[in-house]
Amino acid sequence: MRLRPLARAGLAAALVTGVTGIAAAAPPALAAPVPAAAPALLAAPDIPLANVKAHLSQFASIAAANGGNRAHGRPGYLASVNYVKAQLDAAGFTTSVRSFTYGGATGYNLIADWPGGDTSDVLMIGSHLDSVSSGAGINDNGTGSAAILETALAVARSNFQPARHLRFGWWGAEELGLRGSTNYVSTLPAAERARITGYLNFDMVGSPNPGYFVYDGDNSDGVGAGPGPAGSARIEDSLEAYFASIGVPTRGTDFDGRSDYGPFIQYGIPAGGTFTGAEGRKTAAQVQLWGGTQTAFDPCYHRACDGLSNVSDTALDRNADAIAYSVWDLAQDGGTEPPPGNVVFADDFEAARGWTAGTGDTATAGRFERGDPAATSSGVATQLGTAASGTFDLVTGASAGASAGANDVDGGSTTIVSPAITLPAAASTLTFRWYLAHLNNASSADYLRVRVVAGSSATTVFSQAGAATDRAAAWQSASVSLAAYAGQTVRLSVEAADAGTASLVEAAVDDVRVTSG
């Protein structure tokens, strides 16, 4: 990472309990669901810390054998490229090494494409692979390079086949001014560059005195360099959702152009990523938030001591899993906002827009309501204290109560139904954010469902079943075709159930949107 100003702290969000009432009325009569549910999105795998650290050990060995560094134009950098390329080639990626010249020396970018997916909708994940000349560059930026390498290998191990095309990049000469990434983006033909619809950057994700910073995609912190291109907020939301699911608070950091997202946002490509801090000093407030000491986030920044001992295993593990979470999340739903002119219906639940809570609920507690949720946990996060966007969402019992199980769904099902939505003659698509959380006393009888109600019949278009395992609350995205209902007036019915033996079940839905075209 190049020298950069200290990342600013974001605003601390106070958790406010309480809900806004919803009129209680009987929902439309629901016929038995048509047994054609859209499959739930695949969950990201856990990224083994040991594997990430094994890559770091390789980078350290390469540096030790090549003058103590992996800098641009030095043999240690090319050896690092060859190591990463060999791993990816063996895993089934299509790789290419693209050379450029800077400062009289040849530099290299390594590009790796995972076969499949829509090549007109490319999600790219990148890190710089070079070090400064004074050291091995293990935190800066072996950590980012190793974490995205292991995420790529996890893609291969699971044979992940998302809707979007996945591309990974390792950049050269970042330490000399983003030279490799700039060369890559600026020399792509315009049509090829337009195919990259999102870029995730990971530069220093294992600092020994770490902070947990997420690039501020929508400028919601209100100061600094401003937001990223349209669509960057979706990336920010995805990364923040992961950290929220493990109970780690994050703070925003600016797109100040000092890492490899710079060339991408220059061309209007949505971007985001995480960062654990460089030479800046952790404040007293940040120590209270994250622990550590009021010293530099990385005391070995750009120094010879940036070796294997200069890494926080905890920060590296959390960030590697955050990377995988966002890759799986964003690659499956496209991750971009639809054009405003195509919106048929949208509700972010920041105002009451006529959803109806069903009086036919059989649940004795944890009924669906529009509310400002309070965070609850029982070993894992069971209810998130933040909505997917804004303050409010549809949630099963918004208040925390005396314990994690006080306001979860109990004793049956709970339903909430949208106002009438008149669909155009053209095909429409329903998208929404959701989570279903439960403990290992749940079963496959528990569920979260979304149905389309047309007249007196209802069709299940999305279903996520419970299981006898701990499942942490974490926002995910779903997309459902409504082409079968073109020209009809429909309602959306959201239902959650604790339908088996007594178990702890929580669910929420946010950012419901129907678009056409």
Only one residue has tokens 């919601």, namely 220
Specify the DSSP class assigned to residue 310.
S
Count Cβ atoms below 10 Å from residue 281 Cβ, excluding itself: 14
Distance, CA of 358 to CA of 118 (rounded, Å)? 40
Neighbour-count burial for 166-203, b at 16+ CB within 10 Å, e otherwise = bbbbbbbbbbbebbbbbbbbeeeeeeebebbbbbbbbb
3-state secondary structure of 235: helix
The most distant pair of C-alpha atoms in the chain lies apart, rounded to whole Å, by 75
Only one residue has tokens 């009021």, namely 294
CA 50 and chain centroid, separation: 22
Distance, CA of 153 to CA of 149 (rounded, Å)? 6
At 251, give phi and psi (nearest 5°): -135, 150
> CB–CB of 221/288 below 8 Å?
no
> Is 174 assigned a catalytic role?
yes
Alpha carbon separation from 239 to 81, 156, 203, 235, 408 (Å, rounded): 27, 22, 15, 6, 26
Kindly name the residue from 150, 174, 240, 495 that is annotated as catalytic.
174
> CB–CB of 423/436 below 8 Å?
no
Would you please indicate which residues are annotated as catalytic (active-site) residues? 174
